[in-house]
Structures are given as structure tokens and as C-alpha cells.
Structure 1
Amino acid sequence: MNQHPLSFLSEAIKKTVVTAFNAIESVQTAPIKAGHAYLGTDPILEKGDHIMVYCGYMHHGLYLGNGMVIHYPKPHGRGRIQIDSIAAFKNGRSIEKRHSNLRHSRDEVVRRAYSRLGETEYSLLFNNCEHFVNWCRNG
């Protein structure tokens, strides 16, 4: 099936709008999330859960089970999809569980996440930590 030549543009616009709305939400709820980040309690997690931690912005990750998280951090320069312990991902903050769409089995979500391990194509607008987790769960 042939796609329209401009279909990539539609997807890029959609991702940009979602990112913009989430950034606005983060700014509006920052004081509440900042307090929760250090004082809240962590939810019970299952393999394939979409999790976030507030660190001045919402950083997203995918819980793999056994205390491990795969995520797309961008600490210095280029981002890289990597696996860290939940403690390293949290960095002393509380985890928030996001109830995003789940179109695949939890095993398939984890398999999809592993398939991109080591990727270095980070883009704030088009391929960030939230996009990665959403793709794993419903892409």
C-alpha cells in the first residue's frame, strides 16, 4: 500500500502538538509535581508500565520489571536509549504511573523497547523519551 508523500508531515505535526501540550501541562502543574517528586509514594508497577519522574520536566520511561527501566535520557549532547535501575531513573524522586494506551501485550511492549536499545536519534520535538514509550506501548 502506497502512502501519501506528505504522510510523514502529518505524523510530525501530530508529535509536535502532543509534545507542546505536554510541555504546557508540565509548566502548569510544576509546583504540585515538584512537591510530589520528593514527598510522594511510588505506585505498584507491572512490566510494560509507562512511568515518569518529575525533574524540572516530566521524564518518561518504560518499566521492564525486576527493578529495571528503559528510557531515552539526554544528559549531555546526544540522547541514547538505555537501561537503568529504577533507583537510578528515580534519582531520589517519586515515580508517577501514566495510563497511556496499551495496544500490545506487555511482553511485546518490552520486546519493542529492547529493539531500540542503544538508539541515538533523540529529537526533542520528534523522537523524545515520551515518544519512545508511547511507540513501545501503542506504535
Structure 2
Amino acid sequence: MLDSLALLLEKTFLLAHLNFFSPASSKRERCAKRREDSTYFERGDLLEVPRTLLTHFGIYLGDNKVAHLMPDILPVLTSNKSQIQKAVTNKRLLLGVIYKYALVRVDTVEDFAYGSPVLLNTMDTTLRRQPLAAEEVARRAGKLIGHIPYSLLWNNCEHFVTYCRYGTAVSLQTEQFCESLKSVIRDQRSVLLTTFIGMLSMFFLGIAPSTALPTFIIPFILWMAG
């Protein structure tokens, strides 16, 4: 049951970070310095790109190469390295998120960006932390190349880059999601809504343990949590 709940939360987190649900991201992009040419990047820089479904992060290693943690289903399906090394499509990424399989891989800046503009070191200002020395950042990123445990909430690409650049793994997206979830739980209208949905389920599906218990237990938990 706990695994199912965690899976549901992770899928909700994914939806919560779709670009059209994140108006603040466009403002952040306008304020950030965009670079299209890798000659502007220095070894150890933190790169950020808004991909179709989420914001993606990586560490610049030099020579037009970026290390980044990327969910990918393809290594589970094949051992063909030439196929795996191709740029990860959104379909491969989403299936990797669901399967919870990811690699820290090295790609060109172009493949990493996947057609999006690259934002440079925006988290230095956001986190207000002093980055580690550039060589140490790159060393940490290189040391983690390969398969790595993955969780959309607790060990994602943002955790990877913040660990490499600042020494501590954090994810502002995860923190934002948890705060949003907390505000929903503490809103007493959630109690009324879940009660109403539960009553509808009993009306249409009949009174049974599978409908009656959630109707009373879920609103009660929300009431106590609020």
C-alpha cells in the first residue's frame, strides 16, 4: 500500500511540474542568462534546460560534454550501447521515470539541451550557496557516471547537480511540491470534497468495505492532519 501511495505521489509530482503548470518558470527563464554556445561554459558549471515535461539539470565537464542524471527505459530493454547512447527522447524518459531506472550519462550540450535554451548557474543565486571548486564539481559528476538509484521525488537530476556543485543534494522542485501538497491537506475543503466523492462512490457502487471505509477514513485523516 505504501509503495502504491509513493507511486501516486510521484506521478502527481510529475504532473505538477509540467511547464504549463509552472508560470514561475517562464519568469525565471527571462531573468536567467541563456547560452546557446558551449564556448561560454566552464568546467563545473551547472546547466539547466526546460524540457517538454520538466526542468532538467546537468554539470558541464568541458569539451562540449555534460554529465546528467537521466531516467531511461532503454537500458532495461537492450544492452546495445550505440542505441542507449542516442539522445533520450521524452518517451524513453517518461518510461524510465515510471520504471525508476536512471543513468548518470555524458552527452553533448546539444543532446542534453534537446532543442531548449541552456540556463547557466541560476541555482547559485536561488540557493545562495557558494559552489565548490570547479574541478571538484566535475570530479564528483564523473565519479557517479553509470546506473544510479532513481526517485522522481527523492533522487532526481536536481539532487545530482546540487550534490556535485554545492556538496549537498537538494531539490527545490521536490520542496515546492511538498509545500503544495501540505497546503492541500491543510485546506479543510479537502475534507468536504473527499467526503462528497466517497458518498458518490457508495451511491453508485453500493455500500461495501471498499467504498465505506475510504469514505470515512480519508476525510478523518485529512481533518486530523489539518
| Structure of higher CA gyration radius | 2
8 Å contact kept, 1:33–1:54: no
Q: Percent identity?
A: 31
Correspondence for 1:28 among 15, 23, 28: 23
Aligned to 2:162: 134
The alpha carbon displacement at 1:46 in A equals 1.0
* 1:102 CA displacement: 4.0
Alignment of 1:34-113 (within 5 A): 41-42=35-36, 44-55=40-51, 56-74=53-71, 75=93, 76-77=95-96, 78-97=101-120, 98-100=122-124, 101-113=129-141
C-alpha separation in 2, matches of 1:57 and 1:71: 14
Structure 2 distance, partners of 1:29, 1:103, is: 24
Rounded Cα–Cα distance in structure 2 between residues aligned with 1:99 and 1:57: 16
TM-score by length of 2: 0.45
Alignment partner of 2:70: what SS? Answer: coil
Question: Match of 1:47, SS?
Answer: coil
Checking the alignment, whether the CA contact within 8 Å between 1:62 and 1:69 is kept in structure 2 is yes
Go from structure 1 to structure 2 and tell me whether the alpha carbon gap of 1:135 and 1:34 turns closer, same or farther (over 3 Å shift).
Answer: closer
TM-score, length-scaled by structure 1: 0.70
Post-superposition offset of 1:65: 1.0
When residues 131 and 47 of structure 1 are mapped into structure 2, their CA distance, relative to the original with a 3 A threshold, is same
Residue type of the partner of 1:67? N
State how far apart, in whole Å, the 1-side matches of 2:29 and 2:114 are: 13
CA contact (8 A) 1:53 1:90 kept: yes
Higher relative helix content: 2
The answer for unaligned runs of 5 or more in structure 2 is 1-12, 72-92, 168-226
User: Matched residues in 1 for 2:116 and 2:64: separation?
Assistant: 15
Post-superposition offset of 1:99:
3.9
Deviations 1:62-100 (A, max 9, x none): 111110000011113211111001010011111011242
**What is the match of residue 197 of structure 2?**
none
How far apart in 1 are the matches of 2:132 and 2:26?
A: 34
What amino acid is the match of 2:36? D
Residues 1:70 and 1:28: Cα distance change in structure 2 (over 3 Å): same
What is the CA distance between 1:57 and its match in structure 2?
1.7
